[in-house]
Amino acid sequence: MCDAERRLLSNALLDMSNEWFILLSESCIPVYNFSVVYQYIMKSKYSYMGAFDDPGPFGRGRYNHNMAPEVNISKWRKGSQWFEVNRKLAINIVEDVTFYPKFEQFCRPACYVDEHYFPTMLTIQSPNLLANRSITWVDWSRGGPHPATFGRSDITEEFFKRIHEGHECRYNDQPSSTCFLFTRKFAPSAMEPLLRIAPKVLGF
């Protein structure tokens, strides 16, 4: 998975006009129009890579001491793979020959490379450029190992109100309620109602 993501980044870096790189899936949608998304990312001091230190079995519990000294447990991080990085961090990622081999060799199930590699290596290399949070909202409230998938009946104005207003975070070190620019996961059945409601609630 991270291999594929690194290849996507390498390819996108070849275009010198690309300054920011966002990984999304086919089940993600933007929840603001293009100019809002562009301004938010362009004016941000930080890149949106989710990275947190989880002391429990699914966080630090997955660390393998053979990764030292390159990867110290104090820098071990976890986060979702739906990231936004600037050009500098994208180059850090594709250039890396120090950390990747350690993860390939020593992060094996129940350790998952795609949940730890980018947050950890960027926390070691460029901690001051990370917001440590994702800008893609995912709903874990329904429980279970996978986040909620939204279908036809979920697509209402109230649903988007919850995404637009129901959050608190920091943006450029200030409190903000605009925390998420993208949302997942949407089922194909959500497409038609989304197209209908988008001009009113999403502005595009």
Ligand X SMILES: *[C@@H]1O[C@H](CO)[C@@H](O)[C@H](O)[C@H]1NC(C)=O
Q: Under the rule (CB under 6 A), what is the footprint of ligand X?
A: 46, 68-69, 72, 74, 123, 127-128, 130-132
Read off the DSSP letter of residue 150. Answer: B
Rounded to a whole number of angstroms, the minimum distance from the CB of residue 130 to ligand X is 5
CA angle 49, 50, 54 (to 5 degrees): 145
Rounded to a whole number of angstroms, the minimum distance from the CB of residue 31 to ligand X is 22
Rounded to a whole number of angstroms, the minimum distance from the CB of residue 164 to ligand X is 22
**From CA 11, how far away is CA 26, in angstroms rounded?**
19
Which of 14, 2, 5, 89 minimizes the C-alpha distance to 47?
A: 89
3-class DSSP state for residue 122?
helix
Taking the least distance from each CB to ligand X, the nearer of 53 and 114 is 53
Q: Where are the alpha helices (DSSP H) in the chain?
A: 2-13, 34-42, 87-95, 100-106, 113-125, 157-165, 191-201
Taking the least distance from each CB to ligand X, the nearer of 18 and 98 is 98
Rounded to a whole number of angstroms, the minimum distance from the CB of residue 34 to ligand X is 25
